[in-house]
Each structure stands twice: as structure tokens, then as C-alpha cells.
Amino acid sequence: MLLKEFHAMSSKKEIVTYKVSVKELGLRLDQFLSKNIKNLSRSRIKTLINDNNVIKINEKEKIVIEDPSKKVKAGESYLINIPKPLEPKLKPQKIPLDILYEDNDLVVVNKPVGLVIHPAPGNYENTLVNALIAHCGQSLSGIGGEKKPGIVHRLDKDTSGVMVAAKNDKTHDGLSKQFASHGRDGKLIRSYKALVWGVPNIQSGRVETFIGRSINNRKKMTVYKEEKKGRKLAITHWKRNKFNKEMDITLIECNLETGRTHQIRVHLTHLGFPIIGDQVYGTGYKSKIKKLNSNIKNIVSNASHRQLLHAYKLGFEHPTSKEKHIYKTDLPQDMAKINEIL
């Protein structure tokens, strides 16, 4: 129940106060606020709570609440400071975008090889975020923070393929829940194609391991048999699409049941079929190129400057219309050339 709403003298924030009704007794604080503040997603409200912007008030004192899961009681009043979204300090850049679909809530793009998703130390320009700011202006969700507006999920710099970005917090929240569920609710589909060294002797399979940072190299992920702190369950389904035993190369399709860092790259290397061009997980297989005949060797060598992995299909439920959206893209040129000669 809204008690009163007023805009502070400062243009940097809006202050709203809500009182818990009897019907709202026992709700989590983030649920209670999400129910009452229609224009803010639950993810955004959790962030406000974690950043000390929610205060419980009574006649005697004001208490800053830091726990989104706190159960509210009837008669309690909560004051919420809602900071206005920060103006992006990132530079808009008119980087060409291959847009597959766009509406008022989201935009689907085919990310090219070599494009970094969001700014990071040492790389503040020429990212997908810079391109999205130039294309969408201020209509990008703020959940990702100042450096990642609109970004719901990511692909590695040298992985190409389909991505979706959110234009508002409600859409961001709805898409994020689908990615967090990893398709278990039947809404999300993520399919990849990879060109790998080696030919599996079976048509398809399933890999289930734990993935965590390597003890010997913290920049690499590796497979573990047992669950421990920092290790997460990872499940990948794969099937053999096309292969050439003489070249010892296979086009493999992978579908993710979980979404761990470098999951496909780690799992395929674990199976003994590292992705061609993978400079982190496939370095021990460079000698295979030397065994190819000269014409094929040139094609593979020219393509192997990056891991040959492409996110070719993405499906999701539109958070607003609830319609099923599925987008597919062809293999990029470097992968397509090798695929043609398999």
C-alpha cells in the first residue's frame, strides 16, 4: 500500500514510502516491493536493497534493511530511495549490427567474431555495448549496471552467433530468469556448432561433470569429478553433424543444459575433441594442421586464429507477449569454408 510519494529536491533520486497491509503479511521484502512498485523489476529491487536504499521506519527509529528475503509484517512501513538511472558514460559508437529482430522490449543480434560484449579494463570502446548505446540510445535496461546496460548473457570475444539484449528492466528480468533456468522450464534454447579435431565414434552423447578454475592456471577452467566450493555442475548434450575421417575434423552441435564459463570448450576438450583454433584448451593439437594437404591446410590455418565456435540458434519466450521466439544464423565464413570440404 502506497502511503505517500514525493520527488526529492535532488534530481538524482525519487523517494517512495509503502505500508504493509494484512494481505501482504509474510511476503519477502523484495516480493512486497516488487508487488507495489510496478515499474521496477525484482532484480532491480534486490539491487536497491543490497545498496542500502530501503529503510524500515517507525515512530522511534529508521533501520536500513539489507536482506531481500526478510519477511514483512502488517503495519510496517518502508521508505525506498530510487536513484535515477546513471547516464551511460560509455561512448556510443556506430558499429554495424546484424539485427535479426527488434521491438520496444528487446533486440536480437548476430554477434561477429572479435567483438567484445562489454567494456572492461583496457577495453572501453568498440564493444557490443557501445554499439547498442548508439543504436538504442537510452532504451536499454539498467540491471546490468553502468558498464553492461542491456546485457542479459554473453559470448566470448571470438565466439560468434545469436544474442539478445534487453531494452528495459522488466524484459531483462524475464530473460534473465530463463537463462538462469537453462531451459529446464522449456522456454530457453541455446544451440552451438563447433568444428573440432577428431571424429567421435558415436553419433551423440551427454557430458556431465563439475567445472571450476584450474588449480595450475586460474585463467583456465577445468573438469572435476567431485563437487567442491567453486565447482559447478555442467551438462552438455552433443551430436555429430558432419565429419571427414581423412582430415580428422568434425562439425559438432552442442546444446547447453547449464551455462558455465567456457563450458563447451572445456567439455569438448575433455572428450578428446578440442575446438579448432582454441588457444586456451586446444593448444596440443596444432600439429594436426601439418598433416593436411596444402589446399586444406591453408583453409584451416586461415580460420584457426580463433576457436571455431558459433552460437547458431537461440530460442526464448518473449517476456511481454509470451510468444516463442527462435532465431538461427548460418555459420560464419571461416567455419563455412571448412564445413564445405568435410
Give just the sign of the alpha carbon dihedral 167, 169, 174, 179: positive
Q: Is the torsion defined by CA of 63, 69, 70, 71 positive or negative? A: positive
What's the CA gap between 218 and 250, in Å, rounded? 30
Is 67 assigned a catalytic role? no
Give the distance from CA 142 to its chain's centroid. 15
Is 312 within 8 Å of 195 (Cβ atoms)? no
Q: Cα-flanking dihedrals φ and ψ of residue 138, to 5°?
A: -85, -5
Q: With contact defined as beta carbons under 8 Å apart, do 260 and 234 qualify? A: yes
Question: Residue 25 CB: number of other CB atoms within 10 A?
Answer: 14
342 Cα distance to chain centroid: 32
Distance CA 29, CA 49 (A): 9
| Of 105, 156, 278, 334, catalytic | 156
- Give catalytic residues, as residue numbers: 156
